[in-house]
Amino acid sequence: MSGLHEKGVAELGRALAAREVSSAELTTHLLARIDSQAPLGCFLHVDGEGAMAAAQAADARRAAGEASPLLGVPVAHKDIFVTRGMPTTAGSKILARYQSPFDATVVARLEAAGTVSLGKLNCDEFAMGSGNENSAFGAVKNPWDATRVPGGSSGGSAAAVAARLVPAATGTDTGGSIRQPASFTGTTGIKPTYGVCSRYGMIAFASSLDQAGPLARSAEDCALLLSAMSGFDERDATSAERPPQDFHAQMLLPRAGATAARPLQGLRIGLPTEFFPDNLGADVNAAVRAALAELEKLGATLVDVSLPRTELSIPVYYIIAPAEASSNLSRFDGVKFGHRAQQHGDLLDMYKRTRAEGFGAEVKRRIMIGTYVLSHGYYDAYYLQAQKLRRMIADDFQRCFQGCDVIAGPVAPSVAWKHGEQGDDPVKAYLADIFTLPASLAGLPGMSLPAGFGEHHMPVGLQLIGNYFAEGQLLHTAHAFQQATDWHRRSPT
């Protein structure tokens, strides 16, 4: 029992199928571990009673002959997904004590696949942040070094997986919020192509960018989860009309001409010059270069490419995302749900006081920026120009993919920073997203996988970016790398 928390999703699925452990035993073990690691701040709500009931139901289904790789496997959800029976806050005081009458599509699909939900995970308020320090309910600590951030906004999800509290968790990625925390915590995370996972029931930050995805130990684990999470949803107008995908099977498909010893034979990996600037941390550069050398040993060919508008992705993102946030967050006014100011005058005063009390500093900052760029006289100068540049950034990727199959590079310019280090300089935190923003703006799939360690023995992630709907190729590349290395198996003390 003591080593159960070290197993990933695929391993646990096989153990459950072989009757080596029951879901009830596994759930009991993990609930005790979550309780013992409460100081990390990963969980905002633990549903012990509901989890045990779901685990017993999963055991009964297996006893009746049902077989599924996820049946009885515990997971937890980022608190940006609405859930019945559990509070949903999006890390914000303005939604404290709110409970949804329905489940998000991603939550419902994982439940249908048989997963056992242990609870809700901490996140930056409305998914706005790069360090998980913006939650109204306290910051999350990095399990590798509690003085450092786990990344954001899915920091609670990444930290919970890294600390072996859950084998996998859901997250969302708007500008890198799955990939960056995965890099900072030594976990594996994938943001699929925009539209692959339904946004129904996912509290919106920036609707044209938000996308759900899994964080887990390995590419194989992510493939199993993504297969269950994804698929067309008629309730989401941005959902891609594609048949269900078996990403696990796609991950295992051999490349033409490849051998067991060189499974990536023929794969062309593009290295954008702009992803390796002079100010890239030497420790990050060394780890990423070593990972790229390993991919070469597996048969891949490295080619130089260029994404000339990489630096422009920062101003483009921080115009478009706040603009969409200012619109989406206008619904939180204290009238229908969530926090309402106790002391107020007329209706307008109630709006003002509710929002002043309920929103944190970073959310207020982005609402004000977004409202400004959408205002009369500034829309054409800022928002419209940003959308034009966004199209150009997407076109740059398509030119790259004419000469390569996958793009690779670092996830972030440095390893995780210390808590409070960037609190007085939000722009510094924004700049840390420079390598993840381009793929988000283009709507492309991207993932982070553990690639070694940098300064202070902190994890470093390798980023892989694919063309539209090339999740299977990304997962295949990551799986081959993880078959040859053990970085994804390392865990914090």
- In CATH, what number is assigned to the domain containing residue 143? 3.90.1300.10
63: exposed, middle or buried (C-beta count within 10 Å: 0-12, 13-18, 19+)?
A: exposed
Residue 431: its pLDDT value, please? 79
Confidence check: pLDDT of 429 > 80: no
Question: Per the domain annotation, does 368 fall within a domain?
Answer: no
Residue 1: its pLDDT value, please? 55
Q: Mean pLDDT for the chain?
A: 95
Residue 256: its pLDDT value, please? 85
Question: Per the domain annotation, does 329 fall within a domain?
Answer: no
Confidence check: pLDDT of 368 > 80: yes
- Residue 348: helix, strand or coil by DSSP? helix
- The domain total for the chain is 1
- Residue 317: helix, strand or coil by DSSP? helix
Average pLDDT estimate for 74-88: 97
For residue 378 the two structure tokens come to 């500034």
- Which carries the bigger pLDDT value, residue 423 or residue 140? 140
pLDDT by residue (tens digit) across 387-407? 999 999 999 999 999 999 999
> Which residue, 18, 55, 43, 67, is CA-closest to 123?
43
For residue 401 the two structure tokens come to 């993919």
Active site residue 440: no
What's the CA gap between 303 and 401, in Å, rounded? Answer: 11
Active site residue 177: yes
My answer on whether omega of the bond before 306 falls inside 30° of 0, hence cis, is no
For residue 21 the two structure tokens come to 């452990």
Contact 450, 461 (CB under 8 A): yes
195: confidence class by pLDDT, cuts 50, 70, 90? very high
Residue 104: its pLDDT value, please? 98
Residue 2: its pLDDT value, please? 61
Name 414's Cβ contacts closer than 8 Å, sequence gap at least 6.
281, 284, 432, 454
Quick one: which H or E segment has residue 410? strand 406-410
CA angle at 162 for the pair 175 and 116, rounded to the nearest 5°: 90
What's the CA gap between 490 and 401, in Å, rounded? Answer: 33
Name 392's Cβ contacts closer than 8 Å, sequence gap at least 6.
309
**Of 22, 92, 157, 177, which residue is the catalytic one?**
177
Residue 338: its pLDDT value, please? 87
**Of 23, 130, 153, 448, which residue is the catalytic one?**
153
Residue 416: its pLDDT value, please? 97
Q: Cα 221 from chain centroid?
A: 14
493: confidence class by pLDDT, cuts 50, 70, 90? confident
**Of 78, 120, 141, 191, which residue is the catalytic one?**
78
Active site residue 93: no
Question: Per the domain annotation, does 151 fall within a domain?
Answer: yes
Question: Per the domain annotation, does 372 fall within a domain?
Answer: no
Question: Per the domain annotation, does 71 fall within a domain?
Answer: yes
- Which carries the bigger pLDDT value, residue 1 or residue 282? 282
Question: Per the domain annotation, does 17 fall within a domain?
Answer: yes
Question: Per the domain annotation, does 248 fall within a domain?
Answer: yes
Confidence check: pLDDT of 422 > 80: no
302: confidence class by pLDDT, cuts 50, 70, 90? very high
Task: Indicate the DSSP class of residue 380.
Answer: I
Question: Per the domain annotation, does 459 fall within a domain?
Answer: no
pLDDT by residue (tens digit) across 19-42? 999 999 999 999 999 999 999 999
Task: Provide the percentage of residues in the chain whose pLDDT is more than 70.
Answer: 99
How are strands ordered across the β-sheet holding 74-78? 43-46, 116-121, 74-78, 168-173, 211-216, 188-191, 446-453, 459-465, 406-410, 268-272, 301-305
Supply the range of the domain harboring residue 57: 4-254
Quick one: which H or E segment has residue 1? none
What is the model's pTM?
A: 0.96
